[in-house]
Amino acid sequence: MNRVGQQVYQHTLPNGLVLLAERMDHVRSAAINFLVPAGSAFDPPGELGVASVLAELITRGAGDRDSRELALALDNLGVDRDESVGTVNMRFWGSTLARNVPAALDIYADIVLRPHLPEDELEPVQALALQDIQALEDAPQSKVMVELRRRYYPAPLNKDRRGTAEDIEALTIDAVRDQYKRFVRPNGAILSVAGNIEWEPLKAQVERLFARWEQGEPATLAPLAHTPTSAHIHKETQQTQIALAFPSVPVTHPDYYNARAAAAVLSGGMSSRLFTEVREKRGLCYSVYAFHETFKTQGTMMAYAGTRAERAQETLDVTLAELSRLKDGIEDDEIDRVKAGLKSSLIMQDESTGARAGAIATDWYYLGRVRPFDEIQALIDGLTPGAIVAHLERYPVRDVTLVTVGPAALTVQ
């Protein structure tokens, strides 16, 4: 699926802010997407969760508008919006009719450059953050994955965006404002826009709004030396949560799509191997899946299974066996299914301005360029059973890190 006439533009301001835009003639909307290197990995010791608090507080008043006026201004423009925090980046996103993008961008300039960060709003934001942490205890599937990442990844990549209750409760408005000053900076930031937009007027507006945004110290991450450790978290429950991880390739590696395809063979729908072998044939668990996760320099294959405690060890054994058996051979129909799924995702992305704004920013963050559709399609079309098996021989199941939550510990055979 190659979109004819794909138009992607790029401009870097003197302060380091990267502007990306993709014109999509076939839509009437547009999306604005900011990636700022201010994610949870940059949370200081004793202030874990401050990035998430900042992301929630940053839209509660900006420029000449208080919190209610700001929300009303965005609503009047029909902006569907979201603010979120990842490990590395904080993200601000908004989608609206293309004709409303200039007005929406003016408001986002206030949010990014002139937030109020009001002290009287800190307490309710802390309350929301604490609820988020408490909710994790009622979501065992999420909890075991948080614990796996904490033990598998090196610091600071292993920090959870939620932080800790103790740190959230102790946060001061000065700490939040200091985090904003240190990390919400143009150098390293990406602004992407996708939709029915005109490049030159957009570029001129961005230069007018953001040219005076002052640089700060580069937000660099230096992962510490680390050896992943397995763990069992005892909890008297009828179910056991199983999560595991082992090394794979990052998005920058030539084998990246082979790794993604391997995960999709294992876990790409109700006909996938894990669903068929672990759940359907043996009835071992209510949920099982695998997926590939990536940072710039580190890729990981992860898997999850939730099962009854008395069948937990068997579930783990069968899951690991299926992961290992993949390198013994893959069928043509499995690859056809994987290709169809990847191409469907690409087509749906082309129909969503939000997805395209996110995709071009992600490409630039990881690769320093935006991949054209025909390049991605060629990578998908090039997937073969032989290529994936060769990848799995180079990157087999090894050095498995296992985290379980339940009444009894399990072992990797």
Q: Is 200 exposed, middle or buried (0-12, 13-18, 19+ CB in 10 A)?
A: exposed
* Cα-based distances in Å from 214 to 111, 113, 211, 370: 15, 10, 8, 26
Task: Going residue by residue through the chain, which has 413 residues, state the pLDDT in tens, using 9 for 90 and above.
Answer: 335 568 999 999 999 999 999 999 989 999 999 999 999 999 999 999 999 999 999 999 999 999 999 999 999 999 999 999 999 999 999 999 999 999 999 999 999 999 999 999 999 999 999 999 999 988 999 999 999 999 999 999 999 999 999 999 999 999 999 999 999 999 999 999 999 999 999 999 999 999 999 998 888 888 999 999 999 999 999 999 999 999 999 999 999 999 999 999 999 777 789 988 888 888 888 899 999 999 999 999 999 999 999 999 999 999 999 999 999 999 999 999 999 999 888 888 878 999 999 999 999 999 999 999 899 999 999 999 999 999 999 999 999 999 999 999 999 97
Q: Does residue 312 sit in helix, strand or coil?
A: helix
Instruction: Assess contact for 157 and 223: CB atoms under 8 A.
Output: yes
Tally of CB atoms within 10 A around 168: 23
pLDDT computed for residue 222 by the predictor: 87
Dig out the tokens for 154 from the structure: 């090196």
Domain spanning 8-210, CATH class: alpha beta
pLDDT computed for residue 5 by the predictor: 60
Give dist(CA 244, CA 231) in Å, integer: 10
Give dist(CA 22, CA 40) in Å, integer: 29
Strand partners, 232: 404
Q: Residue 314's Cα: distance from chain center in Å?
A: 31
Q: Please, where in the chain does CATH 3.30.830.10 lie?
A: 8-210, 231-406
CATH fold of 231-406, please?
Answer: Cytochrome Bc1 Complex; Chain A, domain 1 (3.30.830)
Q: Which amino acid is at 355?
A: A
Dig out the tokens for 48 from the structure: 């874990």
Give dist(CA 195, CA 30) in Å, integer: 4
String of DSSP letters for 15-59: TS-EEEEEE-TT-SEEEEEEEES-SGGGPPTT-TTHHHHHHHHTT
Say if strands 239-248 and 80-85 run parallel, antiparallel, or are unpaired: unpaired
pLDDT computed for residue 2 by the predictor: 39
Q: CA angle, 215 as apex, 209 and 217 as ends, to 5°?
A: 155
CA gyration radius for the chain? 23
Residue 321 φ then ψ, to 5°: -65, -40
